[in-house]
Amino acid sequence: MEQDTLSNLTEISSIREMLSSSGYAEEAINYFLTKPNLGPLQGANHVTELTGPCGDTMKCFIKVDKGRIADAKYQVLGCPGAVSAAMALADIVRGMTLSEALEVKDRDVFRRLVQIPDQKQHCIRLAVKTLEKAIKEYEQEQTDKAA
Ligand code: FES
């Protein structure tokens, strides 16, 4: 058991080192390792999925209460950039109105992550687009219900 804990710690520190030397800031690495907003989300009002041009896929769950994002979570089949971006974005939009959440830009996520490799910027795009899709589909559903 202790041996397991030790080998996990060694593994985590080697992942940290690899990500750090690839250009990920500590904030981004922490999001990737702790995955604080990993789905599924119990009681989500809407779930949607999007695949990026790289082939990676995200699933975004939103719980909406009185027009605000009460909670958001993601499941990610993708790279560390995708995981960290999705986890950070869920933190950013929690508590926002739907229209405020739609205004969140890639650079806001980047700021929260502090640094990720240049070639991973599109991973942030995928997280933002998946959330946009979830919100727009949710809004459409509400409009359809009201009609
Ligand atoms: Fe596909 Fe990062 S490489 S989302």
Q: Contact, 72 vs 60, CB < 8 A? A: yes
- Regarding the beta carbon of 117 and ligand 1, being less than 6 Å apart is answered no
Which residue's CA lies nearest to atom 2 of ligand 1?
Answer: 123
Q: Strand order of the sheet with strand 57-65?
A: 46-51, 57-65, 68-77
Residues 42-54 pLDDT 10s: 999 999 999 999 9
Tell which one of 50, 74, 79 to mutate to probe ligand 1, the residue whose CB is within 8 A of the most ligand atoms. 79
pTM value surpassing 0.85: yes
Peptide bond into 40 cis (omega under 30): yes
Residues 73-117 pLDDT 10s: 999 999 999 999 999 999 999 999 999 999 999 999 999 999 999
- Regarding the beta carbon of 80 and ligand 1, being less than 6 Å apart is answered no
- Regarding the beta carbon of 126 and ligand 1, being less than 6 Å apart is answered yes
Q: What is the distance in A from the centroid of ligand 1 to the CA of 57? A: 8
**Separation of alpha carbons 52 and 77, rounded Å:** 11
